[in-house]
Amino acid sequence: MAMLLVSVAVLAQTFTAGGIKYNIISTDKMTVEVTSGGLYEGAIDIPEKVEFGGNEFSVTSIGEAAFGECSGLTSITIPKGVTSIGGIAFRGCSGLTSITIHEGVTSIGSAAFHGCFNLTSIVVDEGNTTYTSANGSNAIIEKATNTVIAGCKNTIIPEGVTSIGNYAFEGCSGLTSITIPVGVTSIGRAAFGECSGLTSITIPKGVTSIGGSAFFYCSGLTSIVVDEGNTTYTSANGSNAIIEKETNTLIVGCKNTVIPKGVTSIGYRAFCGCSGLTSIIIPEGVTSISDEAFEDCSGLTEVISMIREPFAISPWGYHNPEEITLYVPKGTKELYEATEGWNAVKNIIEIKKGDVNGDGFVNNADVTTLANYIIGRGTLVNEAAAYVNDDNKIDIADVAALIELVRKE
């Protein structure tokens, strides 16, 4: 009879008991995992053992996406018999404010707490041999690799951590500031993705690896600084960007980024989700713009391209090309209109460098207009024409360059 009951359990791989959905892992060891498919609200207390078909099973795992998108979940009690927590197990549990990891947990999957933006407390049992939340860090740190694998808005990354793992803070919109210790050498893929409350970031000199989309959709970022001693990355000339030195690729930007001369590539998702970005100047030396570089830059209305020989870009190079005014060097409009990606922009205007008052001429009147603008006594009709010396900023050096240009005219 007992064998028959077990056979019935095997046939019914999933079952619900006490309002929680389970999946049978093993009929030999009589173990189950909490599985996805339930809609959980309020406080959930997962039992150590559960009965089904007349048999008793031990709960040893929380499966992948088990509590995914359960925004009404406010607290969870994980039994001591659980040894693994699957990837995205608590994704989108925005009502969850605290989590305790027992000593027996030896495996936690990627992005297990993605989107839990109200998490304020993360505690790992001191007896856990795999993970720690050392010194009240409010983080889950993998001991063997010294890697932060999950953080929250109250996380303080302790000294001794050498890596911030993939998706560690992804979706933590409540995170407003974070200090990365000098010992950190790598920042994983999407580590701070969707941290919309983050306003500034400083990359220490020891960081030699930054994963793709590390800061995508960080719409609140206004300041990006790379330590001057870093040999792999730079934020040269106050660019408010992370630039990979070896490849001259801008890999992370923000709404205050100024792309410096010398950059040759704008990387994948470099400005993705940067809704506060309204205008950007692309220097002449840029030779490639990766897919989704400006995806969901919903505020972007002006692009000033100094590139004289446009190259094909992805149609997703700009999120909203129909709303963008694209300024291009004099004599290149037809080239842009014939080049894939750029031609998605309908309003393309040629720049006559120095014609800041927009009258079609470059003369002393433009010098006066530009000088008055710089000292705060006037406006420019054509701001795109004011970057006379091509350094991507408007200052007194442009006045000097404009005077030389007028002389040549």
Task: Average pLDDT across each block of 10 residues of the chain; the chain has 409 residues. List them in order.
Answer: 45 83 94 91 95 95 96 95 97 96 97 95 97 96 98 97 97 96 97 97 98 96 98 96 98 96 95 94 94 92 94 78 90 96 93 89 92 92 89 91 88
Give the pLDDT score at 316: 63
In 3D, which of 56, 55, 14 has the Cα closest to residue 34? 14
Per the CB < 8 A criterion, the answer to whether 153 and 140 are in contact is no
Given 3-state DSSP classes, what are the helix, strand and coil percentages for the chain, each rounded to the nearest 5?
Answer: 15, 25, 60
Residue 196 Cα to chain centre, angstroms:
9
Domain range 354-409, its CATH number among 1.10.1330.10, 3.40.50.300, 1.10.3720.10, 3.40.605.10: 1.10.1330.10
DSSP state of 311: -
CA 407 → CA 30, 94, 170, 362, 363, distances in Å? 88, 63, 55, 10, 8
Per the CB < 8 A criterion, the answer to whether 84 and 106 are in contact is yes
The one-letter amino acid at 218: C
Give the pLDDT score at 409: 74
Give the pLDDT score at 4: 43
| Whether domain 1-162 has CATH 3.80.10.10 | yes
Residue 141 Cα to chain centre, angstroms:
20
In the chain, CATH 1.10.1330.10 sits at 354-409
Q: Is 261 helix (H, G, I), strand (E, B) or coil?
A: coil
Q: Specify the pTM.
A: 0.89
In the chain, CATH 3.80.10.10 sits at 1-162, 199-351
Q: What is the pLDDT of residues 26-41, one digit of tens each?
A: 999 999 999 998 789 9
CA 24 → CA 8, 17, 183, distances in Å? 12, 12, 43
Q: Between β-strands 233-234 and 242-244, what pairing exists: parallel, antiparallel or unpaired?
A: antiparallel
Q: How far, in Å, CA of 305 to CA of 316, rounded?
A: 17
Per the CB < 8 A criterion, the answer to whether 311 and 287 are in contact is yes
Cα dihedral: 149, 152, 154, 158 (round 10): 10
Q: Is 317 helix (H, G, I), strand (E, B) or coil?
A: helix
Please give the radius of gyration of the chain, using alpha carbons only, rounded to the nearest integer: 27
Q: How far, in Å, CA of 138 to CA of 152, rounded?
A: 7
Give the pLDDT score at 5: 46
Give the pLDDT score at 319: 66
Residues near 168 by beta carbon (within 8 Å), at least 6 away in sequence: 139, 148, 149, 150, 151, 188, 191, 192
Q: Look up the CATH number of domain 199-351.
A: 3.80.10.10
CA 87 → CA 63, 99, 112, 326, distances in Å? 8, 16, 5, 43
Please identify which residue in the block is written with the tokens 């009502």: 95
Q: How far, in Å, CA of 165 to CA of 143, rounded?
A: 13
